[in-house]
Amino acid sequence: MKLKLRAAAKLNLTLDVTAKREDGYHELKSIMQAVSLFETIIIEENISGIITITCDLPGVPCDKSNIAAKCAAAYYEAAGIQNKGLHIDIQKHIPMQAGLAGGSADGAAVLYGLNHIYKKFNDQELVTLAASIGADIPFCLMGGTALAEGIGEKLTPLEFIPECTFVIIKPDIGISTAQAYGAVDKFGMNSSPSTDVMLRLMSSAEKIASFLHNDFEAALNIPQIYEACSKLNKCSGCLGAQMTGSGSAVFGIFENENDAKIAEERLFKEYPFVKAVKPCKFGVEITKA
């Protein structure tokens, strides 16, 4: 069976790193938002007995280290399905090392697609399986607006955010997740209650913008990040800007879509990636069977 899917990027409206566990993982509280920047993933089973990957972007690992391949292997093992071959084709639209969960979105699409075929797991079981592979994959399955806790696997759906448009910038630098958490460990855990405050004040784009927060941003202290946020904040109609996830992408929030489009056009001349996007209510969807 062949499926074509699309999977949404995510933004962190807040990100509080609250503790480091004995197993090396970090506890966090974050309000996550899916947005209309999509990967396209095509999966097709075959009789080869192996999992193969192709991708249209050079530099993406096309072997078993790819998170999409890990998700496929984990699904087959958990479902007790043997000797199945699967080809995964990834058409990249989400920048790498950006904190936008592009790799996790790819993995979520594979899990969603395989479960559509085999129907072995309910939603919670699929989320549990996803969490065993990567912290952002559970949210990438769910989409919409959600509170993420634990290492990201404990998800509470929230009311969809008010009408707004985000402008995403990816500066010409990359930040690995390991680099970001290493910086937080050196910087120290922040006791900021930003997520708890935001949960009470999400009635408008302006209020959301007032309480944007990301612990990684201060810990990393990278000039290109601050510069990109500053340029967004100087755009007419931008209510606030910050880094998303472990970076290096930043986003600005606009109440007026036309203001966002003008900012996108202006900043496109300065950065390798600039995109105006809307909040998205899903994480993964099938576009063609």
Q: What is the rounded CA–CA span in Å between residue 71 and residue 64?
A: 10
Q: Which of these is catalytic: 16, 84, 106, 136?
A: 136
Q: Which of these is catalytic: 10, 29, 70, 170?
A: 10
Beta bridge partners of 240: 253
Q: What is the rounded CA–CA span in Å between residue 214 and residue 162?
A: 21
Tell me, yes or no, if 185 is annotated catalytic: no
Cα–Cα distances in angstroms (integers) from residue 189 to residues 145, 196, 198, in the given order: 25, 16, 19
Q: What is the rounded CA–CA span in Å between residue 110 and residue 56?
A: 17
Cα–Cα distances in angstroms (integers) from residue 49 to residues 3, 87, 172, in the given order: 18, 10, 39
Instruction: Report CA 133 to chain centroid distance, whole Å.
Output: 15
Tell me, yes or no, if 56 is annotated catalytic: no
The catalytic residues are 10, 136
